[in-house]
Amino acid sequence: MPPEVETVHALRSDVAHQIARYAERLGVNQLAAAKRLDVPQPTLSKIVNGHTSDLSLELLLRIAVRAGLRITLQTGLIPQEAGAYVAVGRPFSARTFPSKIAARTNASLKGSLRELTPTQRLEVFLEHNQLASELRETGRAVHASAMPHASLRR
């Protein structure tokens, strides 16, 4: 299986797991949870039982949004690094920004995101994660190259 297919499979599985945990926390039966998530009960059953191969990642993300789950998707250099994590902390809308420029930039970004289709949003999010991963790797490389010099100064 190609790495990108394995990565999508891992993301789909993790998002389904987060939805299943949410449904369990509701403390109601699957039919009631399915109604709350606006999905057919057999679909929720597939999610809860980990049978997600015929469910799209987009559908799972839509269900996660309906559940109010703030999920972060992460890809990696290898499929095993991919995952979906429930975000913790204050909701993005409740965050404060250090300046008026940052606040205006955030408002502009949110407005731009509303104009994108769900598929475009997912593509932008995946591109953002790739760029963030590259930035982290660059930081690690710089840090690693600086380490020998630091030990010589001692």
Please count the structural domains in the chain.
2
Give the SS3 label for residue 8. helix
82 and 106 co-located in one domain: no
Contact 11, 82 (CB under 8 A): yes
Examine residue 143 and state whether it is found in any structural domain, yes or no.
yes
- Domain end, chosen from 43, 69, 87, is at 87
Return the beta strands (E) in 30-77 as ranges: 71-74
Examine residue 70 and state whether it is found in any structural domain, yes or no.
yes
**For residue 19, what pLDDT is reported?**
95
More confident residue, 64 or 133: 64
Q: What is this structure's pTM?
A: 0.57
More confident residue, 59 or 119: 59
Q: What is the CATH number of the domain that holds 43?
A: 1.10.260.40
Q: Average pLDDT, stretch 133-154?
A: 63
**For residue 95, what pLDDT is reported?**
52
More confident residue, 26 or 91: 26
20 and 81 co-located in one domain: yes
pLDDT in tens, 8-55: 998 999 999 999 999 999 999 999 999 999 999 999 999 999 999 999
Give the domain range for residue 136: 97-154
More confident residue, 91 or 54: 54
129 and 74 co-located in one domain: no
44 and 119 co-located in one domain: no
11 and 73 co-located in one domain: yes
63 and 6 co-located in one domain: yes
**For residue 154, what pLDDT is reported?**
42
pLDDT in tens, 42-89: 999 999 999 999 999 999 999 999 999 988 888 888 888 888 888 655
CA dist 133 and 126 (Å) reads 10
Exposed/middle/buried for 43, CB within 10 Å: 0-12, 13-18, 19+?
Answer: middle
17 and 77 co-located in one domain: yes
78 and 105 co-located in one domain: no
* Two structure tokens written together for 131: 């760029």
